[in-house]
Amino acid sequence: MGTVTKINRDDIVNGKAGKRPGKPKGGVFHNDYGAMTPQQYVAWLIARRKEGRLGLGFAPYYINSSAILRADNTGNKAWHTANNEGNIWYLGYEVVQSYYGIISDKEFILNEDMTLRQMAEDFHFYGLKPNKETIRLHSEFSATSCPHRSWDLHGKSTNALKSYLITKVTRYMSLGKTVEEMLKKEGVSAPVVPVSNTVTPQPDGKTVKVGKQAKQWETGSNIPTFVIDQVYDVLASKPVTKSRSKKAYLIGKGKVATGWLLEQDVDGFKTAGGGNTNKATPTTKPAITGTTTETQSIAGVQMFLNRWFYGGLTVDNLAGSATNKALIKALQMELNSQFNAGLKVDGLWGAKTKNACITVREGANGNLTRLIQAVLICKGYDVKGFDSKFGDGLDKAVKQFQSDKGLTVDGLVGKGTFEALFK
């Protein structure tokens, strides 16, 4: 009988958030808005630690159906809820590969189940009983849609989802004190996702344009309107037998997946007689304006905020109040992380947030610069790249914004310009 792979890497975070002053009160349930496996999160967390960016958020656990990554000792605090109570007193459990289109709902529930087995093991260890006070949702601590996919699958309400989780954890606790004992008692090997649906996104050297006729992903969920008629990298492909399609493509940018597209919905498929999707990539790729954390678009900003600052946003390519609030929260988190500003991360602009802002100028490089780019993108300015580099393009955009707002036109983003941008 197989066993789940446990990756205990307390050395990754190594207590950076500090030691918890007592035993945890319970666990917080998360969905990761991503495509990565626990193994891939190892490298991601190590990079974030080396860059001094752990303060932007991390969970103690990253789990799918076949692997459990523990990134720090459970006796330590973690920055996973954007809330002091949640960070100090609750363990965090991240169900990975939760972005829609990465794996099927059935496979995602297997990821959930393994996550809840680990929660059950920890509840045994700390003498906790599963109830509505000990099993919490990320959305109970901060303004986020996390755990978004579990929410959709299990009742679309706090009470319904928590009742489901409590029932599951209670059952697993009755089967044993460790994940291995629970699996053995269930009489099953640790579930392994079928190879055809396992996604480790890697560009395959091709791009596709989403046809105007496209309506649904391969999984059956609706394709957002802002994806239609845009060009994407192909991250992976798999054989299917659906309608006129023999193949489906995982499209996205870099390692950020957007969804599984049927080949019949690739632009030009019909006019090419249903056989154009294996054509070689042109030497020069078309301009990209789709959804990606590397692309200059409102949707790209929203995905960046979701991935790096637990934004919890619907990726709709619209700059509304929720996106603005998430931008302010990201700025507050970054000022806390880099300058120990001690700000309350509430997404509300106030005197303390304004006074904590430093002056950012041409030549700067980092998350503050990227947040300046992000807010200007959302206001309709062309910053010439969403890349965290304060170059000539961003300088011109800042000066244009300052001119439009009647500010001193100097290209320096100081307290006054920060306030005009974010307030």
pLDDT band at 194 (very low <50, low <70, confident <90, very high): very low
Asked if 101 contacts 257 with a C-beta cutoff of 8 angstroms, the reply is yes
* Average pLDDT of the residues in 198-225: 69
**CA-only gyration radius of the chain, Å:** 22
- The C-alpha atoms of residue 216 and residue 234 are separated, in whole angstroms, by 17
Q: How many CB atoms lie within 10 A of CB 7?
A: 16
Q: How high is the mean pLDDT of the chain?
A: 83
User: Over 50: is that where the pLDDT of 375 sits?
Assistant: yes
> Which SS3 state, helix, strand or coil, does residue 391 take?
coil
More confident of the two residues 218 and 371: 371
Which sequence spans correspond to the domains of the chain? 5-186, 201-265, 298-422
The CATH class of the 5-186 domain is alpha beta
Residue keyed to tokens 């499209």: 251
User: Over 70: is that where the pLDDT of 299 sits?
Assistant: yes
More confident of the two residues 272 and 219: 219
* Average pLDDT of the residues in 256-261: 72
Could you tell me which CATH number the domain at 298-422 has? Answer: 1.10.101.10
Residues in a beta bridge with 222:
216
Tokens of 177: 């004190």
The gap from C-alpha 57 to its chain's centroid, in whole angstroms, comes to: 11
* Average pLDDT of the residues in 20-44: 90
Asked if 225 contacts 194 with a C-beta cutoff of 8 angstroms, the reply is no
The length of the chain, given as a count of residues: 423
User: Over 90: is that where the pLDDT of 122 sits?
Assistant: yes
pLDDT digits (tens, 9 = 90+) for 396-415: 999 999 999 999 999 999 99
> Which SS3 state, helix, strand or coil, does residue 245 take?
strand
pLDDT, position 307: 66
User: pTM value?
Assistant: 0.52
More confident of the two residues 217 and 201: 217
Residue of 39, 30, 7 lying closest to 193 (CA atoms): 39
Question: Residue 322 corresponds to which amino acid?
Answer: A
User: Over 50: is that where the pLDDT of 284 sits?
Assistant: no
Give per-residue burial for 350-375: e unless 16+ CB within 10 Å, then b.
eeebeebbeebebebebbbbbbbbbb
The gap from C-alpha 26 to its chain's centroid, in whole angstroms, comes to: 23
